[in-house]
Structure 1
Amino acid sequence: MTSVQTFGVNDAYLPFIESLQTVQQRAYAQAAPSGQDDPLTDLTQPPAAATNILTDTEDSRLEQMADEKSGPLSLQDKQQDQVLHSDLEQFGYDIFGRVPSTYAPLAGIPVPLNYQIGPGDSIIVQLFGKRNVEYKLVVTRDGNILVPEYGPVQLAGLTFDEAEELITSGFESRVIGVKAVVTMGQLRTVQIRLAGDVMQPGVYIVSGLSTTIDALLATGGIRHTGSLRNIELIRNGKRIAKLDFYNLLLRGRMDQEVFLTHNDTIFVPPIGPIVYVGGEVQRPAIYELSGEQTVEQVIAMSGGLLPTASLTHSHIERIQSGGTRTLIDFSAKSGVAGEKAILNTKVYTGDLLRVLSLEDELSDVVLLSGHVKRPGGYQFRSGMRVSDIVTGADELQPGADLDFLLIKRENPRTLRTEAMYVDLVAALTTPGGKDDIRLQSRDQLIVFKLDQNREDELANIVRELDVQATDYRPARVVEARGAVRYNGRLPLQEGARLLNVMALAGGLKPGADMFYGVIARTRHPSRSIDAITFNIAAAITNPESPANLAIEPGDRLYFFDDKGSRSELLNDEIDLLRQQASYGADEQLVTIQGEVMHSGTYPLTRGMRASDLLCAAQGLTRKAYGLGAELSRVQRYTDDDNAIEHLNLDSGTLLGLCDLTRRMSTTEINPSDSDADLVHYTDDQLNPFLKPMDQLTFTEKSGWVERATVTLIGEVERPGVYAINRGESLCEVMQRAEGLTPQAYIFGAEFTRGSVREMQQETLDELHGQLDELMIELSLSQGFNKTEKAPSEWAGKQDYLKAISQLEKATANGRMVIDLERALTCSAKHNIALEDGDILTVPHTPDYVQVAGQVYVPTSHLYDEDRKISDYVDMSGGHTTLGRLKHTYVIQANGEVMNYKGSRNSSRMARKSVMPGAKIYVPLDVDRMNGTEKAQTWVDTLVRSAILAGIVL
């Protein structure tokens, strides 16, 4: 350190005669704008331009991992390849891309104490106390400042700290009662040179307060071919400092921060040895080496490892001396010692260090999902059971299935997905019991909702099982169809039995058949179909018995109920059985027809007898003939001729044997107590084995009559609904009803029958179809001068179309014209046999006759037996000019129709035939009708003919 110099002063000199306090306050005010706060002139060339503020909008690696991990827990493993997903760039060079203005020397900043004073610097000295004065002194080229009255003071080569001490001590020792304050004024500018691998080499003028870093940042920086770790500062031909940019970038400090002086040279040599670092590190990049020799040091430069990094799975790609590339693997090194050995591995220039990630899987975890209050992951502990995860029913949401829980498990040896069934109620009731099974790491517990489709919920698991399947090893999937709560394909537990699968399918629906079900099983690799029957009642009675069948992968279970056709449910399997029948082999199918509950075609199972097929059809109907059944069987002969053989069986015996096997399956009877009945079951004459293509037929009882009723309405002594026997007559029912009342109008009785209504409606429908065809023919037919006649013809067609639309509304009434008076005599000739649903309506005697059609006043007239038909027409004003009297017809009250013209035109016949309640109708004159009238009349006639097409008795 340079010694402090002293100089003489004139102690008696006072420029002002003022108080000391006033002098000091004025001095402070004057010093404020002219001292350290005085702005410094920025002489950097070119001037630093203002730059925009940079923001990092791209998610970091840690943020990306946080996004991945913040979702729901999943046991699905992800593939961890050895590809580096980020491009590697040279570390540190991006600092020169956009230079913030704050890197340039700023005016008004405090001068560092180690700043070396040089020619051109301005020194401000302020004296306070006995003497108040300010000196602005500039360092001369020979390094001196010239202090008035005291002479030169050598400052060149001194730091600002040393110069401040020299000046203040000199003034204070020479002038008694004076305090000196030294500050820097305007700083000097220096000329420097940039050389080597820099963006813009050349000569620059910078502030004397600039350092090597300031100069590089202000002039564009270093090329990617230049070194960041060996930057040289040359002064007077000698290297006085070496700059390692990594110290600033990685540690935030500089070991040597030298201010630039005049004629300094900054030299950037070419880049040195490099190493590539990628993968699970904080800053994947290309790094320049400067003394780093180990993996540990390289990883430290890259910011350290990410939490997902795995050193044991990492490696180094290295270029060998012969120009080939090789791989240095760390997988053989494990444990603490192995990790230490990996970190101490030497690195060489050109090495590519791939730091790979851990296996992306959850271990020591159990997942709970489904209809629970808190789904998610739970820590796995050795010995953990189901009851440790689902501690009670309060853990479940309302509507959860307490009877069943599914566990999805990964087999650690085969890596295959497996399913396990758990009785949840039993596990919660008896913790630690056999149903409270032990869990394994990565188990997934699924609790189902009662009203949720399980096939949809388990679709992903089923898909995984399908992927694992081969031709010889089918997917561990079972399919449930029919009378279970959830139909579809479901995962199968190894060793699962019938009742387990039934529980997985949500249990049976109400009305399910407890004694008959079918398993369709595909044999591999032949893919042939076998049918196996099961008895649910027997399996429930004794779950450990063979009745609780073992279920194999690919089985299709069919559950039946009282509704629907069983053959339709089995239709797919029946088609497969038919397709697999080859030449010389019959289809493994049997058929049951007739008076059974569910007739149709059924798969032939091993050991199936006639009574078993009757059980499959759920027994006989009420109409079945209990003493007769026929088994039809195809007999094949050597000459290739086939014949049908018919065997007579006893329906009652077969039904009794069916009931016997059902009761034995539920232990209602002891098998030892029914040995005699079992002899009948195994009797090939009473209960033969079935063969392919057998057909079992049950006939109806002779003379069977379902419950039938007739209805009597109107003027009957005891009207109402009466049950009838088969063949019972109308006369017999009327006798039970005690006959007719005195007011009954026998001639006007109306008798309707359902079968007649159906026949009449068929006639109307057929007639309408004929009219549609007629319209098509009229539209397509060719005629003479059709072009000229088109308007009138088209008008006629429109009329016919309107008439047809009226016909569409017509419905049959089912009326039969009967002679009730003769029927009530109970004679064999006029007897009327009744059918179920017949209705007899007997009105009271009317006193009017209706007149309608082409008369002037269509109305009703008081009945008079002496009047003729023409008299009633005349009483309505007579027929109009469009009416045709000779075509008049009468519809009697009993439904008979009588024409006015012809042989019945005598006044005696007309008067006798017109009865009370009759309707006289005068039609239009056809010769005077237009197209519409013709169509309506024609269609009306057809309609009435169709309605009256029933049986007339």
Structure 2
Amino acid sequence: MAQSLQDIQNVRADDLSDAQIEQLIKRAEASGMNEQQLIAVARERGLPMSEISKLQQRIATLRSGGISSGDSSSEGANRGRQVQGIVSDSLFNDFREKDPFYKLTPKQKKIFGYTLFYNKELNFNPSLNIPTPPSYTVGGGDQLLIDVYGASQQSYDLSVNPEGYILIPNIGPIQVGGSTIAAATARIKSALTQIYSGLAGADPNTFMELRLGNIRTVSVALVGELNQPGNYQLPSFASPFNALFVAGGPNEDGSFRHIQVYRDNKLLTEIDVYDFLVSGKNTSSITLKDSDVVIVPPVRNRVEIMGPVRREGLFEMEPGENLADLIAFAGGFRGDAYKERITITRNTATERKIEDVDAANFEVFVPQDGDVYRVGEILDRFTNRVQISGALMRPGTFSLEPGMTVTQLIEKADGLRGDAFLNRATLYRNQRDFSLEILPLDIEAIVNGEAEDVALQSEDVLNIASIYDIREEYFVKISGEVNRPGAFTFGENMTVEDLVLRSGGFKESATSSQIEIARRVKDDASGKLAEIIRIDIDKNLKINGENSDLELQPFDHVIVRRSPGFQREELVRVEGEVTYPGEYAIANANERISDLLARAGGLNQFAYIKGATLIRRNEFFEVPSEKEIETRNLVSVKNNILRDSLDHTEFDRIFLERIEREISEKGDDQAENDGNLISDDFRKQTIESIVERDSVEIEIKTLEMVGIDLMAILQNPGGSNDLILQEGDVLSIPKELQTVRMRGELLYPTTTRYRASAGFKNYISNAGGFTEKSRKAGSYVVYANGDVERTKKFLFFNVYPKIEPGAEIIVPRKPDQQPMSVQSWIGLASSLATLAILVDRVSR
């Protein structure tokens, strides 16, 4: 599990203890990772940002010496150890995959050139696929391939023996050991003229070519400050760089600039790796020979440079090199470096000291072993910055020119906007002690030359406010029977007609009179809350009467009332055994069940009158708003057009665009607050209170059955039994029912056929009888029309309800009773004893 990178997403920083966080930090530092790299790798592996933030806070708290909050429980400690294994192994394994130098210590990574010989992607093996170099020295073990072509053709494959000879058939031995390829070619050609006379002369007709086949290996000793010193067998083409790469390069204490190659007990050459690293020069063009010795001496003069340079690290300096050379080795300064001075920490014979070197002395200052050079950063401040913000054409940051004033800064910003507040602007200025000074300015007077212009200083910030920044944003509002109610931007000379037009015009339900304008009251201490203005406006948006020229003021609220004669259709449904079942629109506000039955053609011969019931919505039913109903209707219109029109006309296209716009606006507009919102909120609050009160999850029913006596309704239409219909009512008239259901605490709840002669107990017997937990006195019957009748008591006897077709018998369960505990019995006994004592004393 600790090796799984996928589990890192489940890490919780709170599960790690402080000791585990510290161990994680130490392990990261030992692997060359800093805190930023650790966090970056964790983010890449899918650790949530919330946990990364907590981890950073824990690390910061520990670094400051505090104690962070972690899970200290035994379970938390176990989980912490498991999580820490996931974090450490996952992060570090992933870091190893990305960093090829993860095994190096921090000091090794800082040594310039150290990673050159550790980089597995870099290969210094000598290339064998090159033409035979004429300067190559032939030795024992080399394979020489001789090709004779022209008038005569012959090939020879010869090996050089340890004595340096090759044996050519019919010619004899020829000494080639110690000779270069060029000298060996001349010597072999001269010997072959004994057989091939065409090789000699001014106009030869036979030619010869000498090339190397398998080259020999040479034994080279690599000693000194190397990672892997020893004797190595290398190809004879190998250079000192090849040998150093095989030996792992210089170690921490090895020199990169004085690598010596000895041959025959004499110094052959000295190699400087920096020439290759800095300028790409390969100063070691020699090839190694048998018994050569490569020595890496200890470093003589190493210094460190840190700060904003291109390459921080440890560098080796030779005598005669200066601080400018060190900066060149480090790749030069970065853009944010302070280049005028470098601070040096230098070791003396007894202690350390600090020196400062100015830029003018970089080329004459000589580094010493152990020096640490620190390059500073430029200050995070500006020498010539001024800023202007607010009601300008181009607010922003500008350079401060000598003698620059406020008016010149405004000109640089392309002047003032028309909404600029000119009476007062604010100039923010930093003092020498970094305190803030605020200077009020009369911009209008300065721009017009009536006041003295103000000279600017570096870091000044001029803010010119807009007139709209210092006042409440103006708007007007319209609500009621308009297509798009809401708040709209106020404009000068705006009228009610303009606002109605902006809101999409009147709905069909809007009244053309009694439109009210609620206007804010100002400076009135009489208690008046609003000024009400009433106007009459027709469908053509023409105001009639005395307020025809009325203009709106900011924050006016226009209220458009619903016409008293407008009614939206309300539907009811008749289901079951009637002549014409289906949906019916309520014709009158006092339409009753008998009226609906008459419109449905009356009952048919299969109707079971006693089973008729009325299904009605309750307060929990979510009634669709008018906006939702309109949207559904528009969607239906759109779908019908798309389905019916094979080749859409121009009218269809324009009409569809208009409907799409209406649907989009109605779907996105959430500002309208119609009457249903209050009932929705009430419904939700009621449901929440019921659930909270009962403390259990209950099913909230939105429809209820209303028990009706259809026989009485038909006999006396308009009477007390004939209910007035409401929207959504469903009148259900079933066929004659022939069954009775039994439910509840019965041995075998079932459904049986109705028998006119059978009573309540007969049906209970058909269900196997009561159980031990049956509450017989609480039994009740639900009739087909929705009426309910419960069991009654007469003296000590239960009087059970009458059973009719379609009825349902419900037998509830007795409540569970807890037996009295010993403490309860003792308490009861104590109370009885006390009562007996009181009675005895009273009787005396």
Q: Per the shorter chain, which TM-score range?
A: 0.3 to 0.5
Which structure has the bigger radius of gyration? 1
With the length of structure 2 as denominator, give the TM-score of the two structures. 0.40
